[in-house]
Structure 1
């Protein structure tokens, strides 16, 4: 039987305009590897804790002294917990609380001429880390869009001159995915 590839639509919840990615991931990837795929596809830096919620169960990196009872993501394959049409959630940074809605759009046989994982589509850059979640990101976008905004100069300096909220390149994300996932 050929390897199964899961086509996932990943959307950052509570963010307008939408930030989203479409990724192709082997079904045999563990949730830990899917975490790395999401980090690189979205554009995060993997500086914070994360978890998955699938069918009411929490998965992540277990912390024996932590408050969350997480099942170990290293022990769980993607194809063992979701199938075509399923929805689940990935939360990154429990301070800023970035929720990602994931939908399994399709499950198909791997193309022998392709390499996986891959980011095949998407829109907009990830918000900068530490911006304060969706609410803080909305403030940042408003300030950057309006040179007369009282926080424009401060926010531009904080975000850095290279930050372009509209910028995203699927081929660059795929290159990063193939180097580390």
Structure 2
């Protein structure tokens, strides 16, 4: 690119409709998002974080078609074990044939998300060529709550004022918690802040 010339953005031809489900929790915590094929995997990570309600304070990885993607670390990963996610776009890894994959977040708490490719849509710059959340249900668990078992204990303690850990959990969370809460507007506000 020559100095002074603006970079040319590649316009997406296709948009993926993805449904994310947080596994091992009932009722299901889910979001449906639209993302352009030109989005990189690190940017998809940020969109998922925003839509779900996570704070992106832990590592993540992708399991797609028998391959693992993430941010390679020579101290932790064997060479070739983890493909560098920064080199891949949503379209390059999902193409026409991938219908489902896994997004892992926080290797300590082990939040596993099943991601289904619901639709492959034509991109329309007036309607859907940017990331957005179009549906969802139930609140995202708090960060560092202890994975699915810790979250279930947390919800039980928060909703039973006689529970021995109620006050401690209330203070730790900074107030009440409604596991059925979800705001589409809040999810999209968080996604818009990423631009």
Question: Which category of TM-score, normalised to the shorter sequence, fits these structures?
Answer: over 0.9
- Deviation >6 Å, runs of 4+: none
**Could you tell me whether the CA contact under 8 Å between 1:62 and 1:72 is conserved in 2?**
yes
- Does residue 48 of the first structure (1) align with residue 61 of the second (2)? no
Alpha-carbon distance in 2 for matches of 1:9, 1:30: 18
Q: Does 1:143 align with 2:157?
A: yes
Q: Report the structure number with the largest CA radius of gyration.
A: 2
Match of 1:29 in 2: 39
Query: Structure 1 residues 48, 94: closer, same or farther in 2, change over 3 A?
Result: same
CA distance in 2, matches of 1:154, 1:162: 12
Aligned residues: 181
Equivalent position to 1:75, from 65, 68, 87: 87
Contact kept, 8 Å, 2:170 with 2:176, in 1: the verdict is no
Cα contact 1:85–1:106 (8 A) shared by 2: no
What pairs with 1:1-181 in structure 2 (closer than 5 Å)?
3-67=13-77, 69-82=81-94, 83=96, 86-114=99-127, 116-161=130-175, 163-181=177-195
The Cα of 1:112 is off from its aligned counterpart by: 2.8
Separation in 1, partners of 2:90, 2:97: 11
Whether the 8 Å contact between 2:65 and 2:98 is mirrored in structure 1 is: no
CA distance in structure 1 between the partners assigned to 2:67 and 2:174 by the alignment: 38
Root mean square deviation, CA, Å: 1.7
The question of whether the paired residues in 2 share the 8 Å contact of 1:41 and 1:119 is answered with yes
**Secondary structure in 2 matching 1:180:** coil
Q: 2:98 and 2:29 mapped to 1: Cα distance? A: 21
Q: TM-score, normalised by structure 1?
A: 0.93
Structure 2 unaligned blocks of 5 or more: 1-10
Distance in 1, matches of 2:165 and 2:101, equals 36
Give structure 1 stretches of 5+ with no counterpart: none
Could you say what secondary structure the match of 1:37 adopts?
helix
TM-score, normalization by structure 2: 0.87
Q: Distance in 2 between matches of 1:125 and 1:20?
A: 9
**SS, match of residue 169 in structure 2:** helix
